[in-house]
Amino acid sequence: MSSAGRGPSGPRSIPGASAAGGQDATLWAVLASAADAREYCQSWLAIQCRLIAGVLGGVVLLRLPGAESYSAVAVWPDVRRDMSYLTPVAQQALAERRGIVVPRKGAPDATAPSLQIGYPVESVGVLHGVVVLEIAARPEAEVQAGLRQLHWGAAGLELMLCQQEVARVGETRDRLQTVLEVVASAAAHERYAAAATALATDLATRLNCERVSIGFQHGGQVRIDAVSHSAQFKDRTNLLRAVATAMDEAVDQNATIVVPPPAGSAPLVRRANAALVTEHGSGNVCTVPMTVSGQPAGALTLERAGGRPFDAATLELCEAIAGLAGPMLDVHRREDRWFGARLAFWWREKLAQLFGPRHGGLKLAAIALVALVGFLALARGEFRVSAATVLEPQLQLAATAPFNGYIREAPARAGDLVKKGALLARLDDRELKLERLKYLSQEEEFAKQMRSAFADRNHAQVQILGAQLEQAKAQVARVEEQLQRTALAAPFDGVVVSGDLSQQLGAPVERGTVLFEIAPLSEFRLVLKVDERDVAFLRVGQRGALLLAAFPDEQIGFEVTGITPVSTPRDGRNYFRVEAKLDRTDPRMRPNMEGVGKVGIDRRRYLWIWTRQALDALRLVAWSWLP
């Protein structure tokens, strides 16, 4: 604060305060060879204050990578000077994102009026910071000239920021490429042990480590699964036990542990990792936990010789590799286990989710399942045997051809409702009528000859002609009877179950050929096709209920009347024919209607009812395989 109010020729703590040409060259040399942002900004600010007339003081505020707020990276003329009075101007310039000029007010130590200039520093649309200068009061033209100089000079800061961003992007790209190459070296192997060993070896080679170990949790404790440059190792040695303990320490805290710890690191328990350094001669140790599904499942332990500590870039690389390689190695590890181990792990995982702090939906589902199983195991319901059914007529008559002939007409066909005496079909009777005339003429001829023999008193001839006359009369009677049977009529009211001769008019038929089948609509019997697994439960006299596909909204009761011992194979199963009597018939019923019938057996537990078939099938399979 001692330099406040002095002109540009006041005392300076850096070479930029002098007007000598050698000092200018020194400032530009420092600017060109700056090692970091602070040194660059300090030289840049000194040059700007040298080029702009009347500067009393200045400060550069930048938000450095990883920081959340702006901090002073350069102060002129003295780095120890308190520049907090420039804060309002800096905040206004940052908020408005433009250059501003405001007069300084209420400055008790100011010897002359001054102006404060704020100019934001942006790069590629990103606001990085602000430059604030205090200059002695001067004409407007000189102030505008100072603003223009600051505008052009800010390009140097923007260039520095762009170069830093390009460098960070390059480092990130190189780091990502390294991570992908290391993980790819492990992913190229199918077996878990080979993949873990390849990953540890590649990591040890790239990071110049003496030893890299990989371990995963087994039964709550980490076990070493791979060591770099070693396909075979003994997990009982003191060294590997110490490494496993260090991994447990990192996994328990779910944090990266480095020994010796870097400056500014978080306070962590490092006893096991420190013991690995002191007791086993590891100069530097870094243990990084590997997470799977958000939970720590294993760790990487890297050991280096003394004098080569793990820097921040190396730690970031190791954490990236652990984050990507952890799930990949865990998948390899699970796939390498035998079926029993994988099944046991699955059960442990589900039980952990079930009794753990989260997964509320799973817990509700488990409670509902337990309640359902408990209800099914204790509650009882009616046990019924279900079977496919078909309606058959109680009585079914066949209309057959009475003699060899030809179909003349057939008005009825299958599905027609007919009354008693209704014409079903008629056979052609023309040949029968001709045959009847033939036998009638023979009868008259024999009667005439018989009368003539009576007149001649020829008793022998009378007897012969009498026999022939009776034969002719018998033939006439036969033909007349056949003429009466040419018309096939319905024997009762019913439905034509089968038969359709409407497309066969004039076709010949032989005697005894079934032309129609007729069944009454008042009497039906129910046939159940019961699976052989369920037929043992059925008894004559048991009651049941039927639903027909034609009208499934009405239940019809029935009673079992017979169980046939003959089975019928169908779809790879055997079905027994069980007959039942319906409690009532319905005018809508027709023969061969199908549905589903259920026969009530007794009351049993729901769990047994729903699982009996599966249990019986398992018993048969076990019986067939057991010696």
Minimal CA–CA distance to 133: which of 73, 89, 72? 89
Of the pLDDT bands very low, low, confident and very high (cuts 50, 70, 90), residue 215 is very high
Most confident listed range (135-139, 210-214, 585-589): 210-214
446-477 per-residue burial string, b: 16 or more CB within 10 A, e: under 16: bbebbeebeeeeeeeebeebeebbeebbebbe
CA distances from 299 to 214, 219, 222, 329, 619 (A): 6, 15, 8, 11, 48
Burial class (CB in 10 A: 0-12, 13-18, 19+), 552: exposed
Taking alpha carbons only, the member of 395, 411, 427 closest to residue 510 is 427
- Beta carbons of 597 and 386 less than 8 angstroms apart: yes
What is the amino acid identity at position 273?
N
In this predicted structure, the answer to whether residue 7 has a pLDDT above a threshold of 50 is no
Query: Residue 45 burial by CB count (10 A; 0-12/13-18/19+): exposed, middle or buried?
Result: buried
Over pLDDT 90: what percentage of the chain? 14
Comparing 218-227, 359-368, 494-503, the range with the smallest average pLDDT is 494-503
In 10 A of CB 340, how many CB atoms? Answer: 8
Q: Long-range contacts made by residues 78-83, C-beta under 8 angstroms, separation at least 24?
A: 78/3, 78/12, 78/13, 79/13, 79/42, 80/13, 81/1, 81/3, 81/57, 82/1, 83/57, 83/58, 83/59, 83/132
Q: What are the DSSP calls for 214-266, one per residue?
A: EEEEETTEEEEEEETTBS---TTSHHHHHHHHHHHHHHHHTS-EEESPPTTPP
Phi, psi at 529, each rounded to 5°:
-100, 95
Cα distances from 280 to residues 4, 60, 133, 306, in angstroms, run 60, 49, 58, 12
Per-residue pLDDT band for 385 (boundaries 50, 70, 90) equals: very high
What single-letter DSSP state applies at residue 413? B
What single DSSP character describes residue 66?
A: T
In order of 24, 168, 407, 408, the CA distances from 506 in angstroms are 131, 102, 5, 6
Could you give the CA distance from residue 410 to residue 505 in angstroms, rounded to a whole number? 7
407 membership: H or E segment, kind and range: strand 405-409
By C-alpha distance, which of 530, 531, 544 is closest to 601? 544
pLDDT reported for residue 18: 39
Q: What is the mean pLDDT of residues 240-262?
A: 91
Residue 8: pLDDT over 50: no
pLDDT tens by residue, 46-64 = 888 888 888 888 888 888 7
- Which of 125-129, 218-222, 239-243 holds the top average pLDDT? 239-243
CA 393 to chain CA centroid, Å, is: 53
Q: How many CB atoms lie within 10 A of CB 91?
A: 15
- Here the tokens at position 212 are 């890299």
Confidence of residue 266 (pLDDT cuts 50, 70, 90): confident
pLDDT band at 21 (very low <50, low <70, confident <90, very high): low
pLDDT at 531 over 80: yes
Question: So what's the pLDDT on residue 177?
Answer: 81
Better pLDDT: 294 or 343: 294
171: left (phi over 0), alpha (psi -120 to 50) or beta: alpha
Question: CA-CA distances (angstroms) from residue 208 to 205, 303, 306, 327, 395?
Answer: 5, 9, 12, 25, 99
d(CA 28, CA 169): 27
For residue 553, what are its two tokens? Answer: 């909204």
Question: Which residue do the tokens 């199918």 mark?
Answer: 190
Q: 387 near 596, Cβ under 8 Å?
A: yes
Q: Is the pLDDT of residue 235 over 60?
A: no
Is 0.75 surpassed by the pTM of this model?
no
Cβ burial of 149 (10 Å; 0-12, 13-18, 19+) is: middle
| Paired residues of 514 in beta bridges | 400
Q: List, as one string, the DSSP characters of 146-176.
A: HHHHHHHHHHHHHHHHHHHHHHHHHHHHHHH
Q: What whole-number distance in Å separates Cα of residue 582 and Cα of residue 357?
A: 60
pLDDT band (50, 70, 90) for residue 27:
low
Q: Is the pLDDT of residue 10 over 50?
A: no
Record the tokens describing residue 399, joined without a space.
């209309």
Checking if the pLDDT of 2 tops 90, the result is no
Q: What percent of the chain has pLDDT over 70?
A: 92
Mean pLDDT of 574-586: 90
Hey, what are 584's tokens? 């009532």
Compute the mean pLDDT over every residue in the chain, rounded to the nearest whole number. 81
Over residues 528-554, mean pLDDT: 91
Q: Where are the alpha helices (DSSP H) in 379-458?
A: 430-455
Q: Hey, is 441 helix, strand or coil?
A: helix
Higher-scoring residue by pLDDT: 600, 187: 600
Mean pLDDT of 116-122: 86
What's the pLDDT band for 234 if we cut at 50, 70, 90?
A: low
Give the pLDDT confidence of 472-500 residue by residue, as tens digits.
Answer: 888 888 877 777 777 777 777 777 777 77
Distance of CA 38 to the CA centre of its chain: 54
Secondary structure element (H or E) that encloses residue 494, with its range: strand 494-498
10 Å CB burial of residue 367 (0-12, 13-18, 19+) is: exposed
Can you tell me the distance from the alpha carbon of 288 to that of 257, in angstroms, rounded to the nearest whole number?
Answer: 7
Joined tokens for residue 122: 């942006």
Q: Which range, 65-69, 343-347, 446-450, 619-623, has the best average confidence (pLDDT)?
A: 619-623
Q: Are 110 and 4 in contact (CB under 8 A)?
A: yes
Q: Report the 3 state secondary structure along 257-304.
A: EEECCCCCCCCCCCHHHHHHHHHHCCCEEEEEEEEECCEEEEEEEEEE
Q: What domains sit in the chain, N to C, each tagged with a CATH number? A: 15-168 (3.30.450.40), 188-336 (3.30.450.40), 397-517 (2.40.50.100), 523-625 (2.40.30.170)
What's the CA gap between 472 and 438, in Å, rounded?
9
* Contact present, 255 and 318 (Cβ < 8 Å): no
Band (pLDDT 50/70/90 cuts) for residue 594 is: very high
What value does the mean pLDDT take over residues 25-42?
Answer: 72
